[in-house]
A and B are shown apart, each in its own frame.
Chain A
Amino acid sequence: MTTSVTTETLTNGRTYTHRTAAHCETGVTSALFFDKGFNLSEPMIFGIGSGIFFGHLPFIKWTGLPITTFRAMPGLVFKKTAKRLGAKVYRKRFHSPQKGMDELRRVIRTGQIAAVTTNVYWLSFFPRRYRFNFSGHNFIVLYENENGFRISDPALLEYITDCSAYDMERARFARGPMEARGLMYYPTYVNPNPDIRKACITGMMDTCNQMLKIPIPLFGIKGMRLVARKIIKWPEKLGYVEACRQLAHILRFQEEMGTGGAGFRYMFAAFLQEASELFGSKELNNLSNEMTAIGDTWREFAVVSSRIIKQRKSKREETFEKAGGLMLICAGREEQLFKDLRDAVEKLKS
């Protein structure tokens, strides 16, 4: 895997290496573990932490639009990965901003790097197009300097920069849906020789359960089918312009929020590829190829939807039925894939 590298010297003389990643949380986890001397790539962390998911949350709204997520809840990937690899972690939220900032300063003064969860809107170093009220962006704080804090954001390319203390406090303690409340975390101890094979198996089984077995029709494959059926009904129910906005919001979650393309499906395929090398399993490799194909179908859904959005003034070639149909195809194929994956993993165990 080719990643660009920038380095930075920490207060205690150690070197920190910036590694670019597609997603903020997996990238941060990978960088934190690497700092403790344990090298694991981003897709591996994503798979072990069971990051892939689907959920439709009509009752939580951002600027009046419901959330359709393609990932597990923010914070869970780090927690699960650490547990499965036998690492001990420090993870804390704060009620008072003052205490939260003091604790962060105390930790980074000891030379330990720490990750913080922030609201993207208040980060002035972030590109304008990504800045909206979303309290779930993670980055790493390296040390304190005269401008505030030196930080490294794995979700951006070759990026180590300064962030003022005021920005940091505002972003960490922003109010709104899914408040971060100054969440900061870092591993205190990392097992140097963990059982990666076992962790992979646990992660994959958990992923299959998340996608197939949650008995609420908003999550997993069932959720995908629900949203697909909703999309087909939108133009009649909401009117054309509002339906376009809703569709654009889904696309934003699928492509933009650091998913690495096609709503994390490519990243999961990369994980299956690495796992197949680890286990020497042909089946996993085939599943990886299948996941890539599903990712391509998601991309196609995105392209069709974008055409709908673009065409709203002129002739209408692509319809909401077609977009919804593509999503139903994705749901069907993913259901089969996760069932196959479950069978393959059960064989790996014995």
Chain B
Amino acid sequence: MELEDELFNDGLPKAYYKHNDKGQYVLETEAPWAEKVSVALLISGNRANLEEIRKAVIAGQKSPLCYYMEMRQLEPGMLAKAAGIAVFRAKRHLRPEIFAKLKPSVLNRYTKALRVTLEELKTVPNI
């Protein structure tokens, strides 16, 4: 599978304990197959989700904030905590018509929490 190889060739490996022939434990770096499969499934799921949200934003059903929240793997509760905004307000800001009316002071809080620039926060990448 290409995605698994792509994911596991990038960056440094981790160490795993393994029984050797003499019955002692040694460290080795080959990742077990099960790990590769599960990580690939979860990451491909995340990517598909992000793509779906991007299309929804372009269609005008969701606000760009929703896209960046998903990109940083956050949930409304975590995003609200990080930005210092009440959870119910953050949830409201996921709707495009309400997000469009936000003041720059509120947007700045989101840019800090999500580590994106103000221009980026107002749009989504259009591929």
Name A's B-contacting residues (CB within 8 A).
1-3, 20-22, 43, 61, 63-64, 121, 126-130, 132-133, 155-159, 170, 174-177, 244-245, 247-249, 251-252, 254-256, 258, 260-261, 266-267, 269-270, 273, 292, 299, 302-303, 305-306, 309-310
B81 at the interface (CB under 8 A from A): yes
A156–B17 CB distance below 8 A: no
Residue on A nearest B24 in the bound complex, by CB: A273
A129–B74 CB distance below 8 A: no
B125 at the interface (CB under 8 A from A): no
Given contact pairs A22-B27, A251-B34, a sample of 4 additional A-B residue pairs in the complex whose CB atoms are under 8 Å apart: A128-B7, A130-B14, A245-B45, A309-B38
B82–A255 CB distance below 8 A: no
Q: A52: shortest Cβ distance to chain B, in Å?
A: 13
Q: B10: shortest Cβ distance to chain A, in Å?
A: 6
Q: Which secondary structure characterizes the binding site on chain B?
A: mixed
B32 at the interface (CB under 8 A from A): yes
A155 neighbours in B (Cβ, 8 Å): 14-15
Q: B112: shortest Cβ distance to chain A, in Å?
A: 10
Candidates A121, A248, A302; contact of B41 at CB < 8 Å: A248
Residue on B nearest A176 in the bound complex, by CB: B78
Give the residues from 66 to 84 in chain B that come closer than 8 angstroms, CB to CB, to chain A. Answer: 72-75, 78, 81-82
Known contacts A175-B78, A248-B38: does B12 contact A127 (CB below 8 Å)? yes
B27–A43 CB distance below 8 A: no
Known contacts A258-B14, A260-B17, A309-B38: does B32 contact A132 (CB below 8 Å)? no
B14–A176 CB distance below 8 A: no
Residue on B nearest A244 in the bound complex, by CB: B41
Candidates B14, B25, B33, B78; contact of A133 at CB < 8 Å: B78
Known contacts A175-B81, A310-B37: does B16 contact A261 (CB below 8 Å)? yes
